[in-house]
Structure 1
Amino acid sequence: MTKGKRQLKAEITKQRIFQTALELFQKKGFNQVTVDEIVKKSNSSKGAFYGHFNSKYDIFLEKFKEIDSFYESFVQTIPEDLPFKEKILILFHGQMKYLEEELGKDLMRCVYTSGLIEIEENFFANTNRGIYKIITRYIEVAKEQGEFVQELDANKITIFITRCMRGTLYDWLVFGKEFQLQQESRLFFKHFY
């Protein structure tokens, strides 16, 4: 087998493990799924699992990388000359639409549950993620253009905004079918920012 074929086979195995794990997390919850179960259901080996992931939590980190890739490409569609509030509204709406339509409520519930696990590097709190950098950049530009007169630094404002984003997602998971994620997110930022 050539190196290219070996790499392709490894990538297929990684994706199979990844998708199987996400499906199991959705069905059973993160804490109820073991690496052994993921390995068995994905028809792979423990060696293959640990060759691609250090732990089952790494699977969520992989999913967050996909989400951050979405943010990086989506932000390219937002005109730079818009006022800060409009840019944030577009970003917030795009985020909620993506999470609702592409990831879905079950996976997001699982992501939020796993985010409560105390670990050394919690992805929700990682301010090096793309979403934090995008919002911080928007705030810095808005401050330079006089849109912001607040004394708080850009990083602290970013923390507050992302907290509101997470809170809106959490409410979507808690309040059930009557909570319309995209509509509620627009209303929230329109009226409270």
Structure 2
Amino acid sequence: MAKVIYSATASLDGFIAGPGGDMSWLTEHLGGPNEAADRLLARLGAILVGRVTYGGDDPNAGTDAEGAFGGQYDGPVVVLTHRPPDPAPAGVEFATDLTTAVERAKALAGERDVNVLGADIAAQCLDAGLLDEVLLFFAPVFLGDGTPVFRRSGGPRVRLERLPGETEHWYRVVRRPAP
């Protein structure tokens, strides 16, 4: 069954985008071998993204590396939004509620996994009990402000367990037993 995995590259002070959604800071930190990213990419069957991230800044815009995973991902994308465009671009589907978006992404992924891009949708998945894993990469930079890895105020503490045999920042979300 498809797992739902949130992956992101963050600054050392915990931001995945700079002020105003700026991603240009990431350009100098991309490229080069990254075995964990390669393993994740090999497992992916679909991407689930929020509208802000979908329409946001791409540090590789206008280059051969434009798009998810430096342009290496070529598969279905599901966008969660309240304002889907008509018609949808090829290879992109739009959903207006979280449950439908996750179910559709999982169906498109088949036996492979779903990668969540975007802090807001990742927090929504976490709060709804739909997030299975978190994989974080860190770039050696302090941004000082921007979009945090998780933007969620309040709510219960969420425990994560490091996945055995994986990079030190790849975690399983520990689910609380039902009461």
Q: What TM-score bracket applies, with the shorter chain setting the length?
A: under 0.3
Q: Which structure has greater helix proportion?
A: 1
The TM-score normalised by the length of structure 2 is: 0.26
Q: Which structure has greater strand proportion?
A: 2
The TM-score normalised by the length of structure 1 is: 0.25
Give the structure, 1 or 2, with the largest relative contact order (CA under 8 Å, sep 6 or more): 2
> Who wins on radius of gyration, i.e. which is larger?
1
